[in-house]
Structures are given as C-alpha cells and as structure tokens.
Amino acid sequence: MPQSPHRLPPDPSGIARAAALLRAGKLVAIPTETVYGLAADARNDAAVAAIFDAKGRPSFNPLIAHVADAAGAQALVDWPAEAERLAAAFWPGPLTLVLPLKPGHGLSPRVTAGLGTLGVRVPDQPATLALLRAFGGPLAAPSANPSGRLSPTTPEHVIAGLGPRVSAVLDAGPCPVGVESTILALDGAPHLLRPGGVPVEALEQALGTPVAATGADPARPQAPGQLASHYAPQAALRLDATDWRSGERRLGFGPVDCDLNLSHAGDLREAATNLFPHLHALDDGTHVIAVSPVPRHGLGLAINDRLRRAAAPRGKAGRTA
C-alpha cells in the first residue's frame, strides 16, 4: 500500500531533513503564508519535471521560484528600481514579481516554460525561510495539489490530494493568508498578472502609479493562475447567489444564513483566509455550492478571481494550479 508522506516538524531537525530531501531531488510540500507549495530544487531538471508529473500540470504553465531574500532574486533576474521598492515594502510576503531572466541563471528551463521571464518571491513563513537558507538555492513551488483542484491550506489537504507523490510535508499548520500571492510583471510598465494576497491598491500606493491588469492567453500563460479553469472543487459553483436553492451547500459572506460563512463581519482578510478551507469542507459529495456575493475590491479582487476560475467550465487543458 502506498505510504503517506512524512510529516516533518517546523524545527531545525525537520528543516534539515526537508533540505536533504530537496538536495536529493525529492518533492517536499512546504508551508507559506498563502498556501502549501510543492517544492523542488529549481536548478534540477528532473526534480522540476517531477512537480509537473505529480500534479498533472501542463508543461506550458510556468512556476514561481521561492528565494530566501531579495539578493537571491537578484541572482536570477534583472532588478529595476520598481522591484527594489516593492521588495522593500512587501517582502517577505505574498507578492511575486515577474522580471527578465539574467544570463547564467542556472534554473531548469521547465521552471519558466520557455519564457524569458521568471516569477520570484520571498515567502513570509519562518520555517520555509529557514529551509530556503539551509537549502541554499531557489525552490520551484506551485501549490501542492492536483492540477486544477482546490488549493491546499493545511497539511491534511496536501496529503489528501497528493499522498505518496510527495516525500514529505513540512507541517506548520494552516496558512494564514489563504489565497495565493499577487503576481506583478515588471518587464515593462507594471501590470497585474494575478490578484492575490497583496491588494492592488497597496501596490499602486507603493509605486505611485496605477497598475494595469493584463488579459491572459489561456494557451500561453505568463504566470501561474491564468488558465480559465483553476482552484476547482468537485462540486459546481453558483456565484453571486442571493438566494439558496434546495440541495445546495451554502457559502456565505456577511450576515446571511448559510452552511459556512467566509466572514460574518464582512472582513475580506478573514474571507480570504477561510476561502479554500471552507470550499474543501463543503465539497463533500454535493452537486452545487452556492456562494454569496463578495465585494470586488482589496482582497475581494483575489477572492472573486479564485471563485470565477473555480466556476469555469472544466476541460483538461484549462486546469492548472
């Protein structure tokens, strides 16, 4: 019978074991402030290929490189003044910057899916930052789930979704932010590739300029999270529901009667933290999950992005994570 992955404590012994597994080309699920990531040595082509195989992820969909600090990013990508300003303001934190690759970067070409740019970020999670320092290099780490399915915010989600395809899970408990990082491209004028844990309004304030949104070609994404169908439960989603229908599970927002509530108080930060755990809990064999309207500003932009993609038609080519 296939074995479940080892659960490693987020202490020096667990971190050392995780680093040793990664050096050996194994896959390790790591905690971040956003969701759990499926990590491999970004310089090891076979290890990066194993990420795509374990997830069933399309090979044309690029990965994010996680680094210990801004210096680790600067070794891989060009570094304009805007990147310095944003890194100072938001790293460690849920912001990925997409920048032109430097010559001699040493990464597996699978990480960038053949693009001339790379997404980099410094996660705000003490155990994973310690792991990155112990490992001594960049880790490619998409979300630790089967491609297209709900993102994992607990070790239990990882184990249920990927099981023995992962060598170990560095177990730091639930992820506090709950939605993936914001992805901002800086290979020209700043433009948003994916809303996430840093609101667009905060980016615009730090940059002193508006941030444009960029439409994505689902056949050629520039960053993770741009394909049409993504983040999906087994159940269908009915969005912006202002009524409840017989047989549905009900995911509310604000003062409504429901099965689970993203935030009774209407707090978007609380709603983001609860989004994926609540969808996991409600995805229990029901055919439809109905979801209350969520405001489309601040973190609500990221929440609505995840819900829209989770509700999209589900063809194999449209899924990723």
- Which tens digits make up the pLDDT trace of 153-167? 999 999 999 999 999
Query: Binning pLDDT at 50, 70 and 90, where does residue 218 land?
Result: low
**Amino acid letter for position 84:** E
Q: Is the pLDDT of residue 306 over 70?
A: yes
pLDDT at 319: 38
Summarize the confidence of residues 246-251 as an average pLDDT: 96
The alpha carbon of 212 is separated from its chain's Cα centroid by a whole number of angstroms, namely: 21
Question: Other CB atoms closer than 10 Å to residue 300's CB: what's the count?
Answer: 19
Please provide the CATH number assigned to the domain covering 6-213: 3.90.870.10
**Amino acid letter for position 41:** D
Span(s) in the chain for CATH 3.40.50.11030:
229-320
Q: What sign results for the dihedral spanned by CA atoms 4, 10, 14, 17?
A: positive
End-to-end CA distance of the chain: 27
Span(s) in the chain for CATH 3.90.870.10:
6-213
Fold of 229-320: Rossmann fold (3.40.50)
Question: Going by C-beta distance under 8 Å and a sequence separation of 6 or more, which residues neighbour residue 71?
Answer: none
Tokens 């990221």 -> residue? 302
The alpha carbon of 273 is separated from its chain's Cα centroid by a whole number of angstroms, namely: 13
pLDDT at 231: 77
pLDDT at 152: 97
Q: What is the pTM of this model?
A: 0.92
What the block records as the tokens of 157 is 């989600």
CA–CA–CA angle 17, 34, 78 (5° rounding) = 85
Write the pLDDT tens digit of every residue in 171-215.
999 999 999 999 999 988 999 999 999 999 999 999 999 998 876
